[in-house]
Structures are given as C-alpha cells and as structure tokens.
Amino acid sequence: MIKNISRKSSSWQLPEHQVTDEGVYLKRRSFLKQLGFVGTSALLSSSAQADWFSKNELTPFVTKPLSFKNSFKSEDVLTPEAKVISHNNFYEFGTSKNDPIENAQQFNVNPWQLNVSGEVGKELTLDYDDLYKLFPLEERIYRMRCVEAWSMVIPWIGFPLAQLIKKAQPNSKAKYVAFETLYDPKQMPGQSSRRIGGGVKYPYVEGLRLDEAMNPLTLMSVGLYGKSLPPQNGAPIRLVVPWKYGFKSIKSIVSIKLVEKMPPTTWNILAPREYGFYANVNPQVDHPRWSQASERRITSGGLFARNRIETMPFNGYEEQVAHLYKNMDLRKNY
Ligand code: MTE
C-alpha cells in the first residue's frame, strides 16, 4: 500500500527494479510472466501455478482440502482464485503485490501456536491441528475492500472469532482485543530489512473493540476456495473483518490478547493521520491522499478489464454493524 507515507523519499518509494537486485528482478519478471502480470497472457489457475513451480524447481506450499458448511453467500461475482492468491499485501514478504506469492512458499506453518491470553478466565493455546478441529468450519463469501481502493470477493473458510473469545471467558476488564502476527525474521525477510518490509515496525499488530470482535461477521479464517490458506494469504490463521479496510485483517496470527485499553495498530503507528484504529470502509471519508468514494473490483477480466464501482458504507455490511458506531463521529474516528 500506502507507500509514500513520509514526504521524504525512502527506499520503499523507488520503482521496484531500482531496489531489487537484478538477478532477482529478472527471475521475478519471468515468474510474473507465467502468472500473466507481464504481457497479456491470462492468469494461471492454482493447479497450473503448481505445475509452473514444479517445472521451475520451486516447491509450492501445499494446501489441504477442508470440510465446511456454506453459511454466508453473496450476489457478488467471486474474484478468481488465481488473483486472490497472487495479488497480496503481506509486507513481511515484500511490498509489491506479487512478492508474497514469490517469497512465502517455504513458510513453515506446522507446528504453529496461537495463544489467547490477557483478561480471560481461561488462557488457551491452540496448535496447528486445533485450528481446523476446535470449531466447525464455515464458508463465508465476503467482499474485501483494501484502503488502496481495490477490492475482491473471496470465499473464506473459518469460524467466528466470537466462539474463540467465549471459550477463553473474557472478564469484565476486557474491552479490546489485540492481535499479533508471527515474528520470525528468518522466515519473513521483510522483518529484518527495512527495504523489503516497507519500514513497518514488526511484528504486525492489530486490534478491535470487544464488541467488534464479537460481531457475528468477524471471522478467523483458516482457508479459502475450499482449501487451507496459502502462506501469502496469511496461513495458517488470519482475521477477516469485512466492513473494515483490509489492513485490519491481520495475517498469520500467533497471539490474541484481551486487554483493557485500545491497543496500538501497525498502520496507525506508521502514519496516524492516514490510518485510524477503526478503519471502517467509508466512501464519505477520503484518505488524505486519495478518494475512497469508489473502488476497482478485481474480477476475472484481464488487466484492463477491472471494474470501477461505488464503495458502500461499511463495505455493504451496514445492516449488520452500523449499530456498533451509533453515537460516534466517524470522521474523527476514521
Ligand atoms: N497482515 C500482516 N501480518 N502483514 C501485512 O502486511 N497486510 C494487510 C492485511 N493483513 C498485512 C496483513 C493488508 S494492507 C491487506 S489489504 C490484507 O492483509 C490483504 O489480504 P490478502 O493479501 O489476503 O488479500
């Protein structure tokens, strides 16, 4: 996203070929060509992508099929899987949209530990298998609106965050929920290099008010398109908050802490005037540097067939969530 936050030019504002070592850059160009980002060829499906990886001696991350019930449908046309898994923001693996798919295939998610702690009656530690077994999995088709004014429609698989929080028995001091991504610079090159990681302070952290976290729409996702999450989308477990800008939906979570005070959040730390704690999708409140009135919906068309549509308040989930903010000035609480 979201580069150019400081007015001074930093390394992460340079065109990619100026900051990337040339060998890597050329390899990347050939990789991207296979994916259809360079030139006009169509995007590959994920199985075709796996073929490409095997031919090129790069092992793709292996996802597994999941069982789930369908619980939340949508009239919107789905964004093709090949785009959902290749156009990503995951700065721990680089700041270009195609960096995560290229750099995250070796990401090791098993074993994994997710701790639920803080103002709770019962601390929880979930291991890799618990993520898929502890709660029944549901498929939910949600719109995802990035603060950069593009959007997708994604069939997520997961369980409501509310179920996990209830299991931990929050006490009366719990007012907010703080989330943290894995910190592992050996696996996540962006965490040890300002150039690769865009100057973000790691680990990536996010937060919700407790009532937002308990809203039935708020999902802990472990999969998409019928399979477990690929690493570039936040394997093995991530948050999905469909009425907020995508940066709230923190990936590869290792800690969920119930807390008394509003927790710090990554983009707010980096640029407080541009990214607030609430970050509700709001076509009436522009980003200081661009309009939020419309968005580019990423669909099945080629690069030039992307659709511009009007952005909806709360990303179209007003009925389900507007009551959470009824006495709040959403211009101040952006
Ligand atoms: N989580 C972590 N840990 N690191 C990130 O860089 N990027 C955020 C969010 N979660 C990000 C993250 C942003 S800006 C967006 S738009 C969404 O992830 C993108 O999710 P996607 O790549 O699955 O589409």
At 155-170, the pLDDT tens digits run 999 999 999 999 999 9
Burial of 75 (0-12, 13-18, 19+ CB in 10 A): exposed
Domain 2-325 has CATH 3.90.420.10: yes
- Measured in Å, residue 172 CA sits from the centre of ligand 1 at 31
- Measured in Å, residue 234 CA sits from the centre of ligand 1 at 8
Q: How confident is the model at residue 72 (pLDDT cuts 50, 70, 90)?
A: confident
Pocket lining: 314 vs ligand 1, CB cutoff 6 Å: no
- Measured in Å, residue 256 CA sits from the centre of ligand 1 at 17
Decide which of 51 and 322 is more confident.
Answer: 322
pLDDT over 90 percentage in the chain: 78
- Please give the C-alpha separations between residue 246 and each of 90, 144, 281, 291, in angstroms, as whole numbers: 11, 6, 9, 16
Report the nearest-CA residue for atom 3 of ligand 1.
251
pLDDT at 21: 38
Give the mean pLDDT of 101-129: 98
Among 229, 251, 292, name the best residue to mutate to test ligand 1's pocket (greatest count of ligand atoms within 8 A of Cβ): 251
Distance in angstroms (rounded) separating the CA atoms of residues 239 and 329: 25
**Number of the ligand 1 atom closest to the C-alpha atom of 251:** 1
- Reduce the DSSP state of residue 224 to 3 states and report it: strand
Report the nearest-CA residue for atom 16 of ligand 1.
246
Q: How confident is the model at residue 112 (pLDDT cuts 50, 70, 90)?
A: very high
Least confident of 51-55, 125-129, 174-178, 207-211: 51-55
pLDDT at 48: 45
Q: How confident is the model at residue 54 (pLDDT cuts 50, 70, 90)?
A: low
pLDDT at 4: 40
Pocket lining: 146 vs ligand 1, CB cutoff 6 Å: yes
Give the mean pLDDT of 10-28: 35
pLDDT at 78: 96
Give the mean pLDDT of 107-112: 98
Distance in angstroms (rounded) separating the CA atoms of residues 255 and 164: 12
pTM of the model: 0.87
Pocket lining: 126 vs ligand 1, CB cutoff 6 Å: no
Q: What angle do CA 322, 326, 332 make, to 5 degrees?
A: 100
- Measured in Å, residue 251 CA sits from the centre of ligand 1 at 6
DSSP code at position 220: E
Decide which of 19 and 115 is more confident.
Answer: 115
